Structure 1
């Protein structure tokens, strides 16, 4: 069962990587060290990194409110609400409106640094496929 879930997640990560690469501009600037560290932390060093990455991928083309994201991702509303707060606090998303009807979009900061997610996806893939051997 774990292998099946891990394989599905790996396939999704490959899809995400292709989507991110297609969004990069030809004149992509180098991401600064602090931004790189922030993106790696948010998407690879915390338990919700994969879910936050899924949220970002959905927000690439259009904005959604929390309820719509919860439905699209098939997740609990409160879980999505938590991830949106984390993403907003770290300037990954911007919102228009208040409370239930607030629509979230990618922030300008993340749009400019979208190419740096490529590295985060690679690290997350390696982390998810690492086999633990106990001796």
Structure 2
């Protein structure tokens, strides 16, 4: 997973639009919450990375990520509700792609990946 997070950072950096615009505090908090503070953050990050390359429907994402269809369906609802992805179509064949909001703020995912990396590699020591 650690290597995967490093790959994710490189992909995010390659997709960044060079702007001097700083991500606002609320957007930063939302991204950190969705990808580091809730269960499934790593899976949602994997979904976003795939959607950076091309649009997918839920079934395609489930196959690509080797996950249960219902699990991917749940994560897509969370991402859509929080304006991270947009959906074209309805039901089974609906295609998902990154929202304009996330595309504009894609650089802020860098911080979320760093925090997720620290969280996943943190070992608790009990004395």
Q: TM-score range by the shorter chain?
A: over 0.9
Q: Please identify runs of 4+ aligned residues in structure 1 that moved more than 2 A.
A: none
Matched residue SS, 1:95: strand
CA RMSD after TM alignment = 0.6
Q: What does residue 115 of structure 2 align with?
A: 123
Q: Count how many residue pairs are aligned between Structure 1 and Structure 2.
A: 127
TM-score normalised by length of structure 1 = 0.93
Q: What does residue 43 of structure 2 align with?
A: 51
What pairs up with 1:14-33 in 2 under 5 angstroms?
14-33=6-25
1:38 is the counterpart of 2:9? no
Q: What does residue 100 of structure 2 align with?
A: 108
One of 84, 92, 95 as aligned partner of 2:76? 84
Deviation at 1:74, TM superposition (A): 0.1
Q: Could you list the runs of 5+ residues in structure 1 that have no partner in the other structure? A: 1-8
Deviation at 1:25, TM superposition (A): 1.4
TM-score normalised by length of structure 2 = 0.99
